[in-house]
Every structure is written in structure tokens, then in C-alpha cells.
């Protein structure tokens, strides 16, 4: 039956108004609740905890696998070195504590080569660490100087105790040689191939021979460029183990 509001009684109107307010509040509550749930989902990791742990384990396994592959690749790279490359590296390592010719400076005008001692060869960087034991007076400082140089700046000297196995430069060939009385190397021309010369022996040079004796040394006869005296180039003798091949493109 229809309820009829009595004159002067506003109960039904008030009840209707309260109902409408309650419905609006309920709808707003649902909207806010859904919004909060969406925000919470954004903070929570996807999937259940067990699944998340499995994902982390998969990531770790992948990282470990990548690291293992890197190590295998590095080992494989070493094993794939050609025999000539392995031989080159071994030869560089064997030069430790030996004297070599080194290009320590290079500019647009000239290359400067000096006798230095090899301290170490880094197989990773392919660089030599060398020591200039007798730096020139004009250089800064009075102490010995160290350099790090690539293999292209190093030329090994012939073995002084094995002249028979050393390639011989013919007359007329241009070479790089240690200028007598110095530790610097300059361009020179071969006048005659090595000849045996008896020279006074110094104990540190001939440890097996008494000081004051004479020892045989094979000497080149050379003419150094820019070594003019009285309008002519003097001919100078240089031990065979202080003469090396002239580098291509040498500037002096």
C-alpha cells in the first residue's frame, strides 16, 4: 500500500534524503577502494613470492652463465693465437733484463732511439716497460727514466755471444747503430761487413776473461749520417751487436 505523508509530517522526505546521501557515500567508497587497490598493485611485485624468487634465481643463473662464457671466450682467444703470434709474445717476454733499442720520442721532424733496459712486458696491453739507465744531460732531472712503449718502438739487439746466428748487413746497406761512446742510435751506412777485432777486455764485459786481456769482437765499419768532419764522413767501428735494421720511415 502506498504510504501517504500526513500534512505537517516531513519524516518521509528526510528519510528519502538520507537514503540518497547513503547511496552516494557508498558509491564514493567503492570508487576510492578501487583506486587504492590499483595503487597497491603498482607497488607489489607481479606474481606470487615463489614465482618472484624463481625469477631472481633465473637471473643469477643467466649472469653466471654469461660470466662462464666470458671466461671460456678469453681462454679460447688465447688458444686461438697463431703460432707466430705466440712466438712473438714469448720473444717479447724473453727480453726482460735485456738491453734493446727503443724509440722513446717521435715527432713530426725526427725519431730518437736510445739503448734501454727492458723491465717488463705486459702480455695484455702488449707494452714494454723500459728503463733509460743513462739519460742525457739535457733531459729534465738527473735520474734514470722509465717509459712504457708498444712493441713497434722496440728493436732487440743481436746476441753478442752468438755472431754466427746474426743476419749480416752487406756493404752499402743503411742501418741503425749505436754511435760510439753514447747510448743513442743513429742512421748509418755499412762500409764493410763485420770483421774480427781484438779489443781490451773489461771485467764486466768479459766475465770469463781476466781484465787486461784482449777479446775478439766482430765490428762493422760504418759512416754515420750528419757526422761530417772536415768536409768528409769519418768511418767508425761499431760492434755487430749494436747494429740493427733501419726502421721503415725512419726520420733523423
Compute the average pLDDT of residues 4-23.
Answer: 77
- In the predicted model, is pLDDT for residue 10 greater than 90? no
Compute the average pLDDT of residues 130-154.
Answer: 80
pLDDT digits (tens, 9 = 90+) for 194-204: 988 877 766 44
| Domain 158-247 -> CATH class | mainly beta
pLDDT digits (tens, 9 = 90+) for 93-118: 999 999 999 998 766 678 899 999 99
pLDDT digits (tens, 9 = 90+) for 175-228: 999 999 999 999 999 999 998 887 776 644 555 555 567 777 899 999 999 898
- ∠ CA 92-93-95, nearest 5°, is 70
Average pLDDT, the chain: 79
pLDDT computed for residue 28 by the predictor: 82
pLDDT computed for residue 53 by the predictor: 44
DSSP string, 146-172: EEEEEGGGEEEPPPTT-GGGSPPPPTT
Cross-strand partners of 186: 177
In whole angstroms, what is the distance from residue 66 CA to residue 87 CA? 31
Amino acid at each position: 500500500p502506498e504510504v501517504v505523508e500526513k500534512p505537517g509530517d516531513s519524516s518521509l522526505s528526510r528519510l528519502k534524503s538520507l537514503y540518497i546521501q547513503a547511496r552516494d557515500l557508498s558509491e564514493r567508497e567503492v570508487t576510492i577502494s578501487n583506486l587504492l587497490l590499483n595503487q597497491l598493485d603498482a607497488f607489489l611485485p607481479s606474481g606470487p613470492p615463489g614465482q618472484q624468487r624463481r625469477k631472481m634465481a633465473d637471473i643469477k643463473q643467466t649472469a653466471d652463465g654469461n660470466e662462464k662464457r666470458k671466461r671460456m671466450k678469453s681462454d679460447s682467444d688465447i688458444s686461438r693465437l697463431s703460432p707466430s703470434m705466440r712466438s712473438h709474445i714469448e720473444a717479447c717476454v724473453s727480453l726482460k733484463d735485456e738491453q734493446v733499442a727503443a724509440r722513446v720520442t717521435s715527432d713530426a721532424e725526427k725519431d730518437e732511439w736510445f739503448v734501454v733496459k727492458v723491465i717488463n712486458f705486459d702480455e695484455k696491453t702488449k707494452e714494454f716497460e723500459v728503463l733509460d739507465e743513462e739519460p742525457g744531460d739535457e733531459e729534465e732531472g738527473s735520474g734514470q727514466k722509465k717509459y712504457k712503449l708498444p712493441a713497434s718502438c722496440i728493436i732487440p739487439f743481436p746476441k753478442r755471444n752468438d755472431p754466427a746466428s746474426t743476419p749480416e748487413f752487406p756493404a752499402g746497406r743503411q742501418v741503425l747503430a749505436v754511435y760510439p761512446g753514447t747510448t743513442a742510435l743513429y742512421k748509418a751506412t755499412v762500409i764493410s761487413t763485420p770483421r774480427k777485432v781484438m779489443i781490451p777486455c773489461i771485467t764486466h764485459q768479459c766475465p770469463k776473461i781476466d781484465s787486461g786481456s784482449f777479446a775478439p769482437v766482430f765490428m762493422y765499419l760504418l759512416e754515420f749520417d750528419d757526422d761530417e768532419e772536415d768536409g768528409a764522413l769519418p768511418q767508425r767501428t761499431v760492434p755487430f751487436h749494436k747494429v740493427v735494421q733501419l726502421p721503415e720511415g725512419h726520420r733523423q
